[in-house]
Amino acid sequence: MEKRVYNFSPGPAVLPLPVLEAAQRDLVSLPGVGISILEISHRSKAFDKIINDAEANLRTLLGIPDNYRVLFMQGGALFQFGVIPMNLLRDSGKSADYVVTGTWSKKAFDEAKLQGLSVNVAWDGKPTNFNRIPKQDELKLNPDAAYVYTASNETIQGVQYQTEPAFGSVPLICDMSSDILSRPIDVSKYGMIFACAQKNAGPAGVTIVIIRDDLIEKSPANLPSLVNYKVFAEGKSLLNTPPTFPIYMVKLVTDWILNDVGGLAKMASLNQSKAKLLYDEIDHSDGFYLPHAEKECRSPMNVPFRLAKTEFEEPFLKQAAERGLCELKGHRSVGGCRASIYNAMPREGVQMLADFMHDFRAKNS
């Protein structure tokens, strides 16, 4: 086998090696079926079991109540950004509140706005380049909004809600693309949760949507089937051919979290402990490494940081890559470096990065 490197990419991102190996083993022919998962009919009994198992795993891990549907959609988070207001805002006669904590919640706001719909910015982190999550009393909320929109974790800025926000009776919609399955959550606090799979839950090509029954009923009847939550839910995600292979991978990844890791509390503890390795290195670097996010909002998934001496950034990235520590370049809007250390990033990879950061500082201070 080709030697693998440590992939700190923000997404698509590293997957658990045992999951990749299982997918590889069965790729040409699923045991007991005799055809590949890439060839299987979405109407077959074998695929029925796969999609049901994926949903059951998600229900177990996240404790999803019975009055929520689990949908497997295509199009990624950007698709949801457009479709959420089509379904839940357009015909509501109301406006929607967006809490803008970074690039992704801003994009979601923009996709509603360009449709000419009534949307308000309930808070905007832009003045400090999105380095923190607002406190509850900073939000300008409309108690009669169709929904409040948040992103639990901002991949680019590395800020995360540490506790679940509450918005009274207004439905809370949350983009959990970059931290779903990384920690336990209370689904009942949300009207709708969605997450593209390619960070913590699988490969690119499928988006997990968890939506409360009453919200599904709000979809206007004149929306095309594939952008209509109600029609899509009635079709049980099989309105047309779903992305069969990505759904199969979600099943394997959630099997891994359930059986190999031991659930989301354990997963969260492993993630916190991995993130601490990097944040400690940053905090103890005497200002050599500069964190982007404020301490109380730091994401355990995405760790963006800059080097105080920017001329060291290029050699830092180059020497890291030579050690097999890859995809560490930060997004241009924040600059510097970013280590994405999702569920599947092994602790050894993070330790190796922390050690490299330590050595690099020692040599260049």
Within residues 14-73, the interface with a copy of itself by CB under 8 A covers: 14-15, 17, 20-21, 23-24, 26-36, 38-42, 44
Which of 51, 62, 64, 77 contacts a copy of itself by CB under 8 A?
A: 77
Q: Which residues contact 217 (CB under 8 A, 6 or more apart)?
A: 230
Q: In what side-by-side order are the strands of the sheet with 172-175?
A: 68-73, 207-212, 192-196, 172-175, 148-151, 96-100, 119-124
* Residue 302 CB, nearest approach to a copy of itself (Å): 14
* Residue 215 CB, nearest approach to a copy of itself (Å): 19
Grouping H, G, I as helix, E, B as strand and the rest as coil, residue 278 is: helix
Grouping H, G, I as helix, E, B as strand and the rest as coil, residue 133 is: coil
DSSP H or E segment with residue 252: helix 244-255
Q: How many CA atoms lie within 13 A of 106 on its CB side?
A: 12
Q: Taking CB under 8 A as the criterion, which residues in 213-252 touch a copy of itself? A: 221-227, 239-246, 249
Active-site residue 104, yes or no? yes
Which of 45, 66, 93, 116 contacts a copy of itself by CB under 8 A?
A: 116
Question: Under a CB-based contact definition with an 8 Å cutoff, are residues 337 and 328 in contact?
Answer: yes
Question: Under a CB-based contact definition with an 8 Å cutoff, are residues 298 and 174 in contact?
Answer: no
Active-site residue 175, yes or no? yes
Q: Give the type of residue at 229.
A: Y
CA-to-CA distance for 174 and 151, rounded, in angstroms? Answer: 5
CA distances to 28, 171, 259, 272, 274 from 269, rounded to whole Å, are 36, 29, 16, 5, 9
* Residue 105 CB, nearest approach to a copy of itself (Å): 15
Which of 50, 62, 71, 86 contacts a copy of itself by CB under 8 A?
A: 86
Catalytic residue selected from 97, 106, 123, 175: 175
Segment lying near a copy of itself (by CB under 8 A), choices 52-60, 203-211, 283-291, 311-319: 203-211
Catalytic residue selected from 106, 199, 230, 251: 199
State yes or no: residue 259 binds a copy of itself (CB under 8 A): no
* Residue 308 CB, nearest approach to a copy of itself (Å): 27
Nearer to a copy of itself, 20 or 141 (CB): 20
Active-site residue 49, yes or no? no
Please identify every residue annotated as catalytic. 104, 175, 199
